[in-house]
Each structure stands twice: as C-alpha cells, then as structure tokens.
Amino acid sequence: MRRTALLACATLLTGLLPLAANAAQAADDPAPVPVDRFEGEVPFADPPAGGLFTWGSDTDDHPALTLRARPDAPEGDKVLAGTYDISGWGGFTHDFAFAEPAHDWSAHKGVRLWWEGHGTGRSIAFELKDGGANGEASELWTTSFADDFTGWKQIELPFSAFTYRTDYQPVGGIDQILGLTETWGYALTLPVGLKGEFSMDGVELYGRADQSRRVSVTTDAAVHPVEEGGTATVGLTLGTLGGAPTDEPVTVSYETAATGGAEPGKDFTPVSGTVTFPAGTPSGTTRTLRVSTLRDDAAEHAETVAVRLTVTGAKAPAEDPQVVIDAHGLPYLDPKLPVAKRVADLLSRMSLEEKAGQMTQAERGAVTAEPGDIAAQGLGSLLSGGGSTPTPNTPEAWARMIDGFQLRAQAGRFQIPLIYGVDAVHGHNNLVGATVMPHNIGIGAARDPGLARRTGAVTAAEVRATGVPWDFAPCLCVTRDERWGRSYESFGEDPALVESMETVIQGLQGRADGSDLDRDDKVLATAKHFVGDGGTAFGSSTTGSYTIDQGVTKVTREELEAVHLAPYQGAVDRGVGTVMPSYSSLDLIGDGRGPVKMHARADMINGVLKDRMGFDGFVISDWAAIDQIPGDLASDVRTSVNAGLDMIMVPYAYKDFRTTLIAEVRAGRIAESRIDDAVARILTQKFRLGLFENPYADTSGAAAVGSAAHRAVAREAAAKSQVLLKNDGGLLPLRKSQKVYVAGSNADDIGNQTGGWTITWQGASGDITPGTTVLEGLREAGGDVTWSKDASAPTAGHDVGVVVVGETPYAEGMGDVGNGHDLELSAVDKAAVDTVCAAMKCVVLIVSGRPQLLGDRLGDIDALVASWLPGTEGAGVADVLYGRRPFTGQLPVTWPKSEAQLPINVGDSAYDPQYPYGWGLTTGGKVPGGGAATLRALGVAAAAAERAGADGAGRALAAKARLIVQAKAGQHITAALAKPFAEAEHLVLTGRYGAAVAKLTVAYRAA
C-alpha cells in the first residue's frame, strides 16, 4: 500500500477557519513586525542555513519557487511566486538559520500574509515551528485558510487558531505548548490533485497578545456517552502558557440544546449556568458540569444533547461537547443473537447515507482537523498509513488515539464502531519498540509453517494491545521478478511455498470460523494483493517513476490459476476476513480485454473470489487505488463497487467519495442490493471482532509489546531465515576462540536490517527502533570481535572476517530496480568485501530484500549467507553464525547470476542460476553417505510416506536427499543440476515426496 510518514500533511486541515482580512489595527496595538518581504532578503537555502526550501512526497511534488517582480505587489516590488502539481504532499518552508537564535513572536496576536487567490476553494495549511533545537527539530502547530477568493487579500492567522499536530511531529513533541518564544519558521502545504500557481507577499506579525492566547479552556472529551437514565459529567480544564496562574477571571457559560433527536424534559433535563475560574486560578484546575438523562424504557437509537459553551477571557474549546444517550433495546445490540440476525436488523434500520459511510475508509490525519466527520459522515473505518502515528509513538498513545476516534463514532445514530487498520506486515512495524519480525521473504526461507503462525500471533497480540483490530497482512503475492520493490513482502516465487506459510493467518485471526476474533490478542487479517501483483512485467508500470510495481501482469488463464490465484483459495479456506485487490493490471491472454486494473475486474473479484472461492469477508481497496481506474470519480466509484469492492480506502477524499457513491446509487447506476451486500460483509466482521460490545482498546496486553517472550519468537525466526549458500572448508559455525573482524554497512544498523515498512513507509537507516543489530548479537554471543564499518582498521591478527553488506530500506515501487536501485552491492560494500576477504578467511552476509549480484567476487568469499531482512533481533543471526542453532534455511527465490537472467523462477524451461530455488546448506549434522544407493532407498521410502500421508516423514526423507546433492555439487551448480533441484523443492511443498527424490536423483547425476 502506498504510504508515507508525512502523508497527512497534504490535506490535514480541511476545515476552514473564519479569517479576518484587512482588519483595522487597534489603537494600542504595536506596529507590525516584518518577517518576509520577499525582496531578495531571504535566500533559497536548505537547513541548517536559513532560507526558503521546498519539499514533497517525491521530486515531482516539490513546488517551484521564484521571486517575481510584480507592479501590483502588496509590499515592495517583488512577491514569492510558485507553481505546483502535487499528487502526494508538498509545500515549502522558511526556516530560520540553526546557527542563530530562535525568534520570539510571543508578544503578538498572530501572523498575516498577502495571498493572491484563484478561487479554487481549496485549503492551504500554514504551519509554525515552535520550540526545540532548530527548525527541523521543533514542534509543529498548524491552521489553514481557504483559497475561496480572487486577487490579493491579506490573511490574518491568530495564534489562538493554531492547533498542535497530532498526526506527525518530527521529535515526538516537546511540551505541546505554543510558547512562541522560540519560533524557528513557518511552512505552507499546498493543495493536492490540483495543478496551479500561487503568489504571496508581506509575511508579518501583527497585534498584541492577549490572555486568550495564553489561557485556554478544554473539555475532557468531545463526546460523552451515557446510558439512558444516567448522568453525564463534562470536565472543563483551565490551561495556561507556562503554567502560570491567570491574570484575569475566566468564565464559561453553558446551556443544553437538543440537536440530535433528544427532547428536553423527555430525554434529558435541561441545564444552564456559569462556571468561573477567578483571577489567580492555577493552570490545570478542573471544574465539572452535569447533564442528567431520563429513562422512558422504549427501544431506540442514540440521541444527542449539545452543551453550548461561551468562554470569556480564554480560548474556547475547539468544539462544544455532546452528551449521547446510548442506543438501547434494539436487536442488533444483543450479543446473544447470531451475528447474521444482528447484521440483518442493523442493516434494515440504516439509511443509504449511513450505509455509504460504512463503505468509506479515511486516513487518520484527514479527520484530525474535523473529527466530527466520523459521526457526521458515518465513517466505517480509519487507517494509519505507513508512518502515520500518534505523538508520542507509544502503545499508550496509540490506544488513546484510537479510543478518541471510537468515542466520536458513538455520536452516530446507531453507534457503529470504527474498524481501524494498519499495515503490520512484519510485526507492529509502525510502533517504536514493537517486535519486528523478518520480512516475509525471510519467513519463506525458514520453511516452518508453525513458526509462521507464531510470528502472526505475536504480531496480532501487539497490534490489538494498541487498540487496532485489523491488519493489512499477509501479502500472498508470488514474487516472480527480483527487480520488484515489494519482493521482500512475498514468501517466495513458488505458490506452493506461499500457501505453506498461510498459517500466519491463523496466527493473526485464530480459528477459521472467526470465533477467536473478539479475543484481545487477535486481529482481522487481509490477504493481499488480489491478484497477480508479483507477476508484473518490468517496464510496464505507469505510476510515476516506478518500473515494475503497479504494472501489468500478462499471463494465460492457466498460469494465473496455477501461480497467482492458488494461494487465495487456501486463505479463504482459512477464514481470512478481508481481501485487498492489487494496484496492478491483469492482462489475460486471449480474453480480448487487454490490461484492466484489478480494482475494476468484476470477473475476478465477484466471479472468482466471492462466487467461486466462496469468500464471505469484505474486500477493501488499496490506498486511493480507485483513482487509477480510467474515468472520472463517478466512473471510478461505480466501476469499483460494482466490481465487488466493499470498502474503499480514500485517505483524504472521503467526503467526495461518499457523496458520489450516494449519487450513483440514487441514479440507479449502483444497485442498493450491492450496497447492502457490502455493508453486511463489513458489519459481520465488526460483530465478530466484538467491537459493538468493546469498541475501546483493551490494553491488558500492552506490557508484552516488545517483550522478551515476543522477541524470542522473532529471534528464532531470524535464525531460521538465514540461508547458508556457501561454506568452503566448514568455516561456519564460528568458534568463540576465534578473533573475528566485523565490517560492512549493515552490521550495526537496525534500520537497514529491518528494511522498509519499519516505523515509516519507506523505512530508514539508523537507530530507528529498539533492537539488536548483527554486530551486537555477535558481541553478546561472547566472541572476540573487532568492529570497523569500512574495514579501515588493521586486519592483521584476526582469524576470520564477517562482512555484513546489502541494501538500504525502501518500499513498494520506490524500491524498483531502475528507480534509483539495482541489484549490485554499493561501492563501499564491495570495497569492504574485497579488503576483508583478501586479508583472511571471510563470511559475507547479504542483508537485503532480494538477491544481490556478486559476480566474480564469489570465488573470494569462503562462506556466503543470505540474511534477508531479519528484523530487530540480530542475535538470531549470531545464533547460527556461532552454532547455537544450525543453519536450516532454504532459498525462497532463485538467486540469479546476472540481471539479464531476470525474471528467473522454478519451472522455467531455461534455468541456470547462481543458486537454485530451495538451495540451503546446513550446519546441523552430517550429510548421509552412500551416494546413489542411498538416494534410491530414500526414494522408495519417500514414495511410501507419500502414499501413507506421512508428510513429516516425507519432508525429512527429501531433505536428506537434498543434502546429498548439495554435498556432491559444492559450488559447481550447472543448469542440468539446478533445474531438477529447484523442481524437487516444489514437489516437496506439494506433498509429492517420491517424485521429489526422483528429481533430486537426476540432479545428483548431473553434479
């Protein structure tokens, strides 16, 4: 899914604040203080220098800036002008120089600027950088104004209108107080999806600060649910800048008003009054007011009572609180009834507007400024994109955030809870401190279905403990080309291998009938990306600079069935709760349709997935994926919904989508029966998850997040994922008596070894989350270790070198080969390998999401290990290096000799790789002797095991045969050996053990 840490920037604040323009200056106000006149005094320069710079989700999203002479410039002769065409997020910043003191803006009422309007009606976010060490390590506070006028207009932004950004903070928050005594600059975020230009001038500070900027009144919650007949208590808290007592009194007048079906005197007792905070009141002082509801014993939906607040002497709450009298007495609320009956009852009561809301999923950042939309739009779901996290990024903050969103949903008529989703694709990878598992490519290498299930169980427990009940995992893609930037999200190139790892679904969800979903350690799983995303042709992508991701999979129907569809039937049989279609297009040879986006393929979603396979969960679209269907929004909506999509991920365009969906149904272009089917599927999973009874986070498992027990599972997975490709002279396992020289860019970098989709969408190098690096694991193992990242330290006197090299993080098409990436080691890594391997016997570990090309260096390497992306537990890598565990991993994909061979996969007619699919040496015992005679005996026994259904015995017998072939071949792997060897591994995974040993016998003869 297309995500990024700053995705919420672009349309974070869609609510438009009423702004006073050209307001008369009060007589006692100080003169305005210029910030930017744009006459050339501000340079274009990146931090740490002071100046203007642009930014965006990719290079195409950076606006272009210039200082342009204008005869109509509001101030001086020039203005700051620019053009933009933004698809993700983008804008520009004026940072003050790091080397100079921060600016003090605290004496002023606000900041204002001249803006040339174009009447687009779009929102422009204006952000302040407050406190912290510098402009890139400060708190972010934001407001917005609307481009709903034409010509020049002076926009005033009072500091009282700025709110603390809850979707993203670069340093996790400092004091969460807009002090303005250390201001480091400002930024503007430009509209998304609109090609345009802008001009601005004359940024200045205006007015005099008053108490309302320094003092605020907040409520304890915006929504206060209460059972009928109960009393709601609303808390009012006084807060002051810096914690100083108030200089003047603050009063809060309140009165109740019937706004949501509740009738005064019948459903609640009207109240009004005034709460006073006298002068000298300490910051943090809380007062309460109470609203009593009345019981009438009639079954009814929820009713709302507004509490109107008028604040004098302080900044008022962002919105008035609501008291919600809970729905009661209706059949859908009865947990004793079968889920199907509860769904039918609730569905029968819902309006088309409410049904459309249930089919709508928004990004959390999009509703941060307008959280009331959750109830007003009846949203069915929210998600966190990659890196879209609360501040601080802790389990407790996640739970508070999601509880806050769920509380908003309680203001809806039927109080239908949200279902919140995240991409926990290798552990709860958005959460700092979570247990990060090896990526799927490593789990496939481990060849242990039971372990795969346990990694899923750990992930589920940590995800649910933070209040998230839905995981967009696992990826059941069958990767067929290592140039794909998502290769590591696949368990491997063989559909049989992918199917064998689907035990992870049970780890995530529990029993196939969904009866475990309401447990506090289980989550709803998602099989993705349906179908063929791993088979896209290189060069077929039309998404930005991508070369293969989101491209076209061109296959025969037979190949589609055998390779790409095969894993999905198993997932359906395992009860997977949701399925996500692929961004890619499917071009079925012979059907005459050409490439068709998967989100538009009714034949595959309705016809194959739902009808033929019997999938009874719901289909969720990928991130804004319907936008890629040809046509306008209305066409995209009806095409995708009619194709079988049940919930649409429209991160920021949720209002437009919902409105359009309703219009398409009313126009008869989408049948209401299709809507009812979609909503019934969604509600079924919400009932199964127990969200109606327990919508809020159960944090009883939060203490286990990142626990020793969970990390032990990840450590085992890391160890079992290591594939020993070469081991000349039995160099491995290492001995603790040896002096070991460790080098390489990936030896001591937790970010590199966890890869993409870790803390942020793309991941990042460096110390991004707690864990143990490979170097730390080696040291903890007790060895005598010398560390030199670039191999510049003296090499003399060491017995063996361990060089850990490979890739830096990437995700999705950003990691496609040809999109700034290749399959070669970096020049620095090559130099480290050359230096160490020339000086001593050496082990080279490749930490990467896919095979790397070694060329003629392989001959200089004594031992070679494919480490994949092992996650946070580098000690697991050390475990196999030092022999605490044996190497048992096998290649989940073919290791090519050159990029020219790609794509290369098991079963190809021409197959001559560096290492074949299934290759993997072991340090776990002796290779059976006897050669051909032993193979004949193993073949007879394997065939017998197959007939008897003794899978464990069959696999063990084939494994012995594989070791015999590897021992004879050594590193002399020919095409005649590689092809039957790889095909034998596929046969093992499909339970044909006798045939597998027969293939291995052919490989043995070719060795």
75 and 244 Cβ atoms separated by less than 8 Å: no
Catalytically annotated residue among 812, 829, 873, 985: 812
Identity of residue 879: D
> Integer distance in angstroms from the first to the last C-alpha of the chain?
43
Asked about 812 being catalytic, the answer comes back as yes
CA distance 1002 to 100: 74
Q: Find, among 902, 920, 923, 925, the residue nearest to 981 by Cα.
A: 920
Separation CA 172–CA 185 (nearest Å): 18
Say how far apart CA 698 and CA 709 lie, in whole Å.
20
116 is annotated as an active-site residue: no
Cβ contact 492:889 at 8 Å: no
Residues in the chain: 1007
Helix %, strand %, coil % of the chain (to 5) = 30, 25, 45
Place of tokens 């030092």: 882
CA atoms of 875 and 708, how far apart (whole Å):
13
Among candidate residues 846, 818, 851, the one with its CA nearest the CA of residue 832: 846
How far apart are the C-alpha atoms of 98 and 174, rounded to whole Å?
18
Is the preceding peptide bond at 913 cis, omega within 30 degrees of 0? no
**215, 229 Cβ separation under 8 angstroms:** no
Instruction: Compute the distance between CA of residue 761 and CA of residue 88 in angstroms, rounded to an integer.
Output: 13
Give CA–CA dist 522/457, Å, rounded: 7
Of 239, 391, 415, whose CA–CA distance to 324 is shortest? 415
Selecting among 549, 622, 636, 664, the annotated active-site residue is 622
Measured distance CA(304)–CA(290) in Å, rounded: 15
Q: What are phi and psi of 738, to 5 degrees?
A: -80, 145
Amino acid present at 620: I
Chain-centre distance of CA 783, in angstroms? 37
Backbone angles phi, psi at 863, to 5 degrees: -135, 135
Rounded CA separation 382/691 (Å): 14
Question: Residue 309 in contact with residue 247, Cβ under 8 Å?
Answer: no
Residue 563: DSSP 8-state: I
Nearest CA to 501 among 890, 150, 28?
890
Q: Which residues, in sequence order, are CB contacts of 348 under 8 Å at separation 6+?
A: none
Active site residues: 622, 812
